[in-house]
Amino acid sequence: MITPLHSLKALLLALCVGFNASALANNPMCECKAVDAEQIKCIGGFSDGSGAPGVTLDVIGNDETILLPGRLGADSTLTFKKPGTEFYVLFDAGPGHVVEIDQADIEAP
């Protein structure tokens, strides 16, 4: 016979399992730095230290147009020419694994 106490225990167990699984998830990470006045280099990966080769990294204008579609290389980096307009960088490794970097947050050389 299932009692309300058994149901409550089952619910609490399910919540704990779900919490532990999310605590172990790898968070996306991306950093961009200016190489010089013309070039920007971005590197992407995950909080467990793994790289992100092949992950989408687009340079997007403030009007939401894609200025430069790209993917991270085998070394999890992408270097591109700095656009002449305002932009942000979008690292997109799938749902829940997205990082946006505004141009104002890109470190100078």
pLDDT tens track for 28-70? 999 999 999 999 999 999 999 999 999 999 999 999 999 999 9
| Band of pLDDT at residue 18, cut at 50, 70 and 90 | very low
Q: Which domain holds residue 63?
A: 26-105
Mean pLDDT of the chain: 85
Could you tell me if residue 39 is inside a domain?
Answer: yes
Could you tell me if residue 1 is inside a domain?
Answer: no
Could you tell me if residue 56 is inside a domain?
Answer: yes
Could you tell me if residue 15 is inside a domain?
Answer: no
Could you tell me if residue 8 is inside a domain?
Answer: no
Q: Position of tokens 């190489």?
A: 35
Q: Residue 78: is its pLDDT beyond 70?
A: yes
Could you tell me if residue 13 is inside a domain?
Answer: no
Q: pTM, whole model, 2 decimals?
A: 0.76
Q: Residue 95: is its pLDDT beyond 60?
A: yes
Check if the beta carbon of residue 85 is closer than 8 Å to that of residue 66: no
Longest pairwise C-alpha distance within the chain: 72
How far apart are alpha carbons 109 and 17 in whole angstroms? 45
How far apart are alpha carbons 73 and 95 in whole angstroms? 21
CA-closest candidate to residue 42, choices 79, 81, 13, 94:
79
Total domains in the chain come to 1
Could you tell me if residue 10 is inside a domain?
Answer: no
